[in-house]
Structure 1
């Protein structure tokens, strides 16, 4: 929708630990960016043409269907690795939060690392997302965006569908919940075609 990745919060359960709550799966990584760029390039390629005979869009682009699938698999593997590290207590966010608050208590001020613009950008979660499963038919759960110019996007996978609950602040001139919904729908449609291609070829 915006053409770039942002710091993203995706909760990872730490329930295996006593008093464990959640850490953050940082899903905005290079493999995800590479795959998303390939999908976006395929959709907006200037080499897309319309055949006069069938009136169907014929796509000629730098990323073939097989390559998009390979990039997706790479992104999924990276995501799984990050998720597994997090649920095993090897994430970075809780550890950094602990160090920051310990420094605040013992030093009375924050070390430069925690006042640096890079750190501030790292914890400015413009996209907050998590699975929020409900089994009661006709219901859904969600939460708000965590920054003024961000989005909240919970998801609830069902057998034949996925329920999304998208939120953003109406006071923000940057965000647009309806545009986000449309972008998400278009992305899911593109992914469906990608997976159908794997099924056909495989």
Structure 2
């Protein structure tokens, strides 16, 4: 299975088919390692991610699994340019709520053999459902795993070899 924040961000985007549109999903990123850094949003809506989401959710699209896999690779590469994640070794997670009533909060912590997810939404919003969103996340991860499990001849190069990380010029030193 492919691991990393980029893969999980792309997975969250594929859940849009639940509402037949993209829904606001707050995905937090810690920037505490940077001077005066706290948290920021992960901006995962790249053009490459959109191409993959459309390919994977439009069942009328006449794309082969190999073509979908190439789009997934492109989406992960583009997302990796923007983020890098250092998961905690502990089986813990944080949780935060959505920032708008019709949105979701999505927090995750990849572990060696699993991924801890926390999905939240407002009960007062009739359009959102945390259980349905969580089920859509599970289905998206399964579909992405199936694409990544294609025979090597169809898959080509490895999906991700190493995530890029950029270092700020001034890091916060405790």
TM beyond 0.5: yes
1:72 aligns with 2:67: no
1:33 aligns to what? 50
Q: Deviations over 1:75-95 (max 9, x none)?
A: 1121122237xxxxxxxxxxx
Which residue of the other structure, out of 176, 187, 199, is the alignment partner of 2:129? 176
Q: Deviations over 1:147-167 (max 9, x none)?
A: 111111111111111111111
Q: What are structure 1's unaligned runs of at least 5 residues? A: 46-60, 85-129
1:112 aligns to what? none
1:157 aligns to what? 110
Q: CA 1:133–1:62 in structure 2 vs 1: closer, same or farther (change >3 Å)?
A: same
Contact conserved, 1:7 with 1:26, CA < 8 A, in 2? no
CA distance in 1, matches of 2:87, 2:132: 22
Q: Over alpha carbons, which structure has the higher Rg? A: 1
CA distance in 2, matches of 1:3, 1:198: 31
Q: Number of aligned pairs? A: 138
Q: CA 1:181–1:10 in structure 2 vs 1: closer, same or farther (change >3 Å)?
A: closer
CA distance in 1, matches of 2:44, 2:78: 9
Contact conserved, 1:6 with 1:28, CA < 8 A, in 2? no
| Aligned positions of 1:1-202 closer than 5 A | 1-41=18-58, 44-45=59-60, 62-83=62-83, 133=88, 135-136=90-91, 139-197=92-150, 199=152, 201=154, 202=156
CA distance in 2, matches of 1:23, 1:4: 24
Q: What are structure 2's unaligned runs of at least 5 residues? A: 1-17, 157-174
Q: CA 1:78–1:39 in structure 2 vs 1: closer, same or farther (change >3 Å)?
A: same
CA distance in 1, matches of 2:93, 2:24: 25
- After TM superposition, which residue ranges in structure 1, 4 or more long, deviate above 6 angstroms? none
Aligned alpha-carbon RMSD (Å): 2.6
